[in-house]
Chains A and B, each alone.
Chain A
Amino acid sequence: MSRRDLLVGTATSAAMTVAPFAAEAQTQARPRIVGLPSVVQVSFTVNGERRELELDTRTTLLDALREHLQMPGTKKGCDHGQCGACTVIVEGRRINSCLTLAVMHEGDSVTTIEGLGTADNLHPMQAAFVKHDSYQCGYCTPGQICSAVAVLHEIETGIPSLVSADLTAQPQPTVAELRERMSGNICRCGAYSNIMEAIGEVAGRQA
C-alpha cells in the first residue's frame, strides 16, 4: 500500500468525521481511532482568490500557504507563535498562521504579504519599509509588515494596549504604542528603530 493509497483511503473516512452527526455516523457507538493521517477538504479565500485544498488535518495555515499554495512570502520562523514571522491577516485581524490549523479556516478570508502589494505597486507600508531600510536579512519583514498594517487598524478602531494610560480614551499611534503593539514580531537583525520609523511615517500619513 503506497502513501498515496493510504491518504485516499483515509480521505473517505475523514469526510464522515467532519460531519459525524449524520444519521449514519450516529449509529456508531464509539468511533475507532486508528492513529492514521486524516485528510479533510477546506476552502478559503487567499488574497481575493478562492482556494480549495485537501489537507492532512495537522496542516497549519502557514504550511497550507507555503507548501500547498506555493505562497512562500509568509515565513516560518519558530513555528511556535513566539517570533511573528508567520503573521497574516485573517478576517481583518493579524494572527500567527503557525498556531492555527488550515481546516479551522473554512470560508475565511486570508491576506498575506503577497496580497498587500506587488513589486510594481507596493502597499504604503511596504514602500515605507523600503524607504527607511527597515530590515537587514528580510526574513521577519513579511510578518512585520502584515502586523504593522493590522496594528494601525487596531489603533484606528480604538483597541487599547498595555501602555494606553487611559483605557477609555482613543489610542494614538505614538512610538510607545507602536513598540508595545509590535512586540509579537521579533527581528534578529535588530532593525527595530527603522521599523518604527516606517510605521510612524505611515501612521502620520493616515492621521
Chain B
Amino acid sequence: MEKFSTHTGTALPLRRSNVDTDQIIPAVYLKRVTKTGFEDGLFAAWRNDPDFVLNRPAFAGATILIPGPDFGTGSSREHAVWALQNYGFRVVIGSRFGDIFRGNSGKAGLLIAVVDQKIIEELWEFVEANPSSPITVDLAERRISADGFEASFEIDDYTRWRLLEGLDDIGLTLRQVDLIDEFETGRPSFKPKTLPAKVESPL
C-alpha cells in the first residue's frame, strides 16, 4: 500500500444519502478476477444519465468524492472500494459511513475523512461554485483546505497511522517477519510439504 500523507485534487459532490455498496457497484460487475478494472461498474445504475454528476465535464478528473450521509452501507463487498480507487478517487469526505466499507477502505488505502454534515453542505456549495478549485486533504494534520475554506476531519488514530506508514494488513504482519522466520526454523521436519509432489502427475 502507498503511503498517504497529503492529497490535493478536485472534488466531486454526490448529493445523495444512503448510497449502499450495491449502488457503488452492482453485483453483476463482480465477476472479474482482478482487483482492477472495476471503474466501469462504479455507480453503474446512474451512469447512463448524462446529467449524473460523474458525467458532468466540470467534474472530470476529480479525486475526492463528497457523498451524503450513510455512504457504503450494505453488502461487505471489497469491490466497492476497488471501484472507487480504480476510477481515480483517493479520498472520500462524508458525515457517516457504513462500518464494513470504512474498514475495507482503510485496509485498501482509500482515505475516509469524517466531518459534520454541516461541513459537507458547505463543501458541496464551494465545489459546485468552483469545480476546478483544488482541495487539499492533509492526513497528518487532519485538515481539509481550499481557497478560503478550512475544516478539520476525524479519523481514528490506528487507521491514520497505517495510512501514513502505508501499511496494509499484510504490510503490518511482514513487520514481524523475523518472528515468522524464527517460528519456521522450529517447525518439526515431519510436517508435510506440497513440494516436491509425491504423486505421479501434477501438471
Partners in one complex: no
Interface, chain B (partner A; CB < 8 A): none
